[in-house]
Chains A and B, each alone.
Chain A
Amino acid sequence: MLTLRRIGPLLRPVAGWIALAIGLGALAMLANIALLALSGWFITAMAMAGLAGVSMNYFTPGATIRGLAMTRTAGRYAERVVGHEATLRVVATLRPWLFERLLPLAPAALADLRDGDLLTRLRGDVDRLELVVLRVVAPIAVAGIVLAVGLGWLAISHAAIAGVVAPLLVLAGLLVPLAAQRYGAGAAARLAERQARLAATLVDHVEGLAELTIYDPQERHVARLLAESDTILGDEMRLANASAFAGAMVGFSAHLALVAAMATAIAGFAAGALTAPQVPMLALFSLALFEAVVPLPLALQSLPAVRASMQRLTAVTEREPPVSEPAAPIAPPASGVLRFERVGLRYPGAEDFALRDIDIALAPGLMLGVAGPSGAGKSSLIALAMRFVPESEGRITFAGTALSAFDGDAWRQRIALLPQDAPLLAATIRANLQLAAPHAGEAELKAACDLAGILPFVQQQPDGLDTFVGAHGTKLSGGEARRIALARALLKPAPILILDEPTEGLEPQAAMALLQRLRSVRAVQAILVISHDEAVLRACDTTLRLVAGRMLAH
């Protein structure tokens, strides 16, 4: 329950909408129940009057029936509109909330998010929480209100009927769903895991299709996939059985309630406690009450999943930020030398230093090359410079002031970075570039594209800079995406430029041309180039070689 309570604050901004949706839902449902009951009362009363040969006031019940029909119809519609409005408002609250929480953690405390699997799970969790109003909160609250009002009215009208109907409501609304859930719990847990495994095997299969075609002529991998797929069916069958059972049982309880209420009411009629029209009225009312119970199994079933999602989400948002910001930050100077003095970095929980005894002086106008095998600490070097992680020993300064004295975001304004895997956002090329410089004009954008060697490609696109790229947009090759990311880095007006493998995927001549253009255009910028291309390194003023986290003497 504790984790569930955490959802509360997220829903508070839309509490009014949620309450309105619940109120409308309860109103529409009560109107429908009353409509059925009143219809039963009305025709019985008319029949009795007809048999007795007396007249009766049929205007009031007739008008009430019409009124209830309208209330039900309009109420249902309004409830659905308002419920979806509330849900979409939750979406608009939850997403920025989550993003704001994750920002201080990125990237060092979110390294595992690079795993696509985890990201997909996070997205699934967000989706599930966004639907919590529509799927869980509203049905349970509506059922609560309707059952309280309905049972109360039954108790006032004829207490014995409330006595026989209430246990059946508990059976259908609580016991049956819980039993079904328990029956299916093991299968549900296994199913999630097995489906994830099947998806992983499918990824293997599709990505490794070439190798399998050559090395697996007997299609053993297909057999394995099908075997995994077949084991899932057993679990799905069990869950389907559980839900079919729950559905049939809710219906059965409802009709049992009708039978029981009828018998009780007939006894009441014989005893003179009830009039004839009241008998079908109360019986039909009892039956109709179960309408409130029908959505409960699904709502209760979602509860554990919602709780698990919230748990996973808070487990991420409540992580410790890797860097603590200074209480009274100093504004970073506009230019200066970025200096590493005997800097070491050890990640939390790691035994060994990722970097140690690093001395660098990156002065304006200097082009510094960094080389080293993968895992030597090149990305740790970037993370330190960007202040994504704090140094464990030594000192990093800019223009003589320690980086820890600056506000992180303010400091990062001084560095333009092209990371090794520079993702583009699902947006236009222009929006992607303007991430670096929100107010850059057409000419600046084009100049950056030209420098990065991507301008011809951009100009070939029918929509030019407004071409939509990323997921669901124009597909870019790895090289094209990288050139755009480079243009973006070049666009940022910063005294320091850090480029991780800027020439990857370029032919040697094109790579050298790019470097020379960079040198001539960016004479005052300090440039740090990470590369494994010896020709690129030779073109730098000095080269730093990293091996196993240490600088190699050169």
Chain B
Amino acid sequence: MRASPNDLAFLRRLRPLAARELRLTILAGAMGGAMVVLQAWWVAGLLDRALVGREPLEALILPFAILLGIVTLRAVAAFAADRFGFAAAMRVVPALRRALLGKLGRVGPSGAAALPPGEIVSALSDGVRAVEPFFSRYLPATAQAAMLPVGILLVVAPLDWLSALVFLVTAPLIPLFMVLIGKGAEALNQRQWLRLQRMSGHFLDALQGLATIKAFGAGARMVAEIGATAERYRHDTMAVLRIAFLSSLTLEFFSTVAIAIIAVLIGFRLLWGELDYRTGLFILLLAPEFYGPLRTMGTAYHARMEALGAASRLVALDALPEPVVAGGTLRPEFGRGVAIRFEDVHLTYPDGRMALQGVSFAIAPGEAVAFAGPSGAGKSSIQALLLGFVGPTSGRILVDGHPLETLDPAHWRRHLGFMPQRPKLFATSVRGNIAPGEVDPDDGAILRAAERASVAGVIAGLPQGLDTAIGNGGRQLSGGQASRIALARLFYRDAPLVLLDEPTAHLDDDSEALIHAAIAGLKGRRTLLVNAHRPTSLALADRIIRVENGRIAVEEAEPAEAAGPC
């Protein structure tokens, strides 16, 4: 959780997006500052006339009216500064989310696998949101802290050099001490952060694992352990906080003592007649305002820390390497099946993992080929290459004789059908799930695809048919039903090349049989590539290619034997 210069640079780069709003908020802040000084001057003048000049209230009506005007303007300026600050953040947040989603699209599924999905989601939702206070609070507060104290110093110096000297001496001490103490606390904080994460993780896990804990009769032990963990955490955290709070103690100490000194110094010179009452009171009234912005800085600094914490997650996403997938402009017409040829293909992922080390094979149009081998052998990488999620490090991939990198990627993808290990249902209608990319899907074709995927009966049983919401928040479907919806998606696309990655790995026998029967309908009519573990899946293929350690191990011509009786 260390705030790296990268994270800060990342936040700074976003600044121009909100340049106009930031200027306006600073302008409103400056106006508010001017009103602060003016109000102090006016109040001092009023009291001078009433107490020293002994003017009656009736004579002071106009000055009081003007004071009301100043007070009102001050409130308006405060409101405007707040509003523009938030408006600045509202410029940055959507633009940032857009940019990161674009980045995610360019990184693609293979590249994104480098981060856990939960981390990407939290970066895009909470992470992007945590950037908000940096723009709405921290940047305006910094500007205010730079302007108002200087302004007050410039006003006070010609009036009373002694008070100005007190300001001048104490003001730089405050940030200095805060930084010194803050640094120490931050170092402790880094460790604390990991502990907090682990404590929360421990608690959350314990909640999630309640059944397991109960099964092992460890309930009472776990209650005690949760209590003990929290106690330990309290003990350690308080040690950190006692030091961390010293930085605000410093600020309070210097500002309060400085105000007290100024009050006493002014008092004596008033007694000795060296200073007039109005000036003395004016400076006394300004003194708290001099330290006020520095104090706001203290709280705004937390906004900065939080934003930096979030930025490190955003930077992690932003720094994901984008796979080099060369694309051309060729848009050939494909027949019913596609011929595929791998020539000495190597693939090394950006993290250095060697996935494929010289893979060569050829698949004829309409052929059904199963890829077998232990997990991690390179089966999924072969599919990722064909899907265009990654590009080969060396070697050639030919489809219908065209090098893959000469094809228009969008055109090529439109001719692919694909089903991953755990197909994803989106939180939308059945129709939207079967035809995700279509603006105007053809219901007839959707129902025919559902029929072939033997999920038409399930859909007919849903309350709103194709309009029924499924996925997260919608109607819950069983794993087998979800897989068949995904299969209908594939049939609807009716692509000449079909790629299946362990299509039945997580299903029971009945669902598996339904899916296999549906897939078998494609045999001979489309080029079919299946990554498979189970003998029953292998039996779908005309031919089995075994992959081991990123190389083709054996080619078996006859799958029936390998499958065994079942």
Contacts and interface: CB of A to CB of B under 8 A. Distances in A.
Contact of A73 (B108, B208, B256, B424): B256
Given A96-B227, A244-B79, A270-B56, A210 B420 contact: yes
B263 A43 contact: yes
A99 to B, nearest CB: 5
A256 B246 CA distance: 35
Contacts of A58: 267-268, 271
B237 A88 contact: yes
A43 B267 contact: yes
B206 A99 contact: yes
B347 interface: no
A113 B211 CA distance: 11
Tier of interface size on chain A: 35 or more
A226 B507 CA distance: 35
A472 B201 contact: yes
A123 interface: yes
B424 A248 contact: no
A16 B371 CA distance: 68
B223 A103 contact: yes
Contacts of B215: 386, 412, 415, 417, 419
Interface in B160-203: 194, 197-198, 200-203
Given A43-B263, A426-B201, A202 B209 contact: no
The SS class assigned to the B binding surface is helix
B51 A279 contact: yes
Contacts of B416: 214
A523 interface: no
A119 to B, nearest CB: 6
A69 B257 contact: yes
B473 interface: yes
Contacts of A352: none
A183 interface: no
A106 B436 contact: no
A269 B50 contact: yes
A49 B259 CA distance: 22
Nearest to B109: A210
A209 B423 CA distance: 11
B211 A218 contact: no
Given A58-B271, A91-B230, A263-B64, A251 B197 contact: no
Interface residues of B, number: 134
A488 B233 CA distance: 28
B538 interface: no
A80 B280 CA distance: 34
Contacts of A507: 374
Interface of A: 32, 35-36, 39-40, 42-44, 46-51, 56, 58, 62, 65-66, 68-69, 72-73, 76-77, 80-81, 84-85, 88-89, 91-92, 95-96, 99-100, 102-103, 106-107, 110, 113-114, 119, 122-123, 195, 197-222, 225-226, 229-230, 233, 236-237, 240-241, 243-245, 247-249, 251-252, 255-256, 258-259, 262-263, 266-267, 269-270, 276, 279-280, 283, 373-375, 386, 388, 409, 412-413, 415, 417, 419, 422-427, 435-436, 438, 470-472, 488, 492, 507, 532, 534
Given A51-B273, A471-B204, A472-B201, 10 more contacts: A46-B271, A47-B52, A58-B271, A84-B237, A91-B230, A99-B222, A206-B117, A209-B108, A492-B216, A534-B566
Interface of B: 39, 43, 46-47, 50-52, 56-57, 60, 64, 67-68, 71-72, 74-76, 78-79, 82-83, 86, 90, 93-94, 97-98, 101-102, 104-105, 108-109, 112, 117, 120-121, 124-125, 136, 194, 197-198, 200-219, 221-224, 226-227, 230-231, 233-234, 237-238, 241-242, 245-246, 248-249, 252-253, 256-257, 259-260, 263-264, 266-268, 270-273, 277, 280-281, 284, 288, 374, 387-389, 410, 413-414, 416, 418, 420, 423-424, 426-427, 436-437, 439, 471-473, 478-480, 486, 489, 493, 507-511, 566
17 contacts: A39-B259, A43-B270, A43-B284, A47-B277, A65-B260, A77-B252, A84-B241, A91-B233, A92-B231, A197-B473, A210-B418, A226-B98, A237-B86, A244-B86, A262-B47, A426-B204, A426-B205
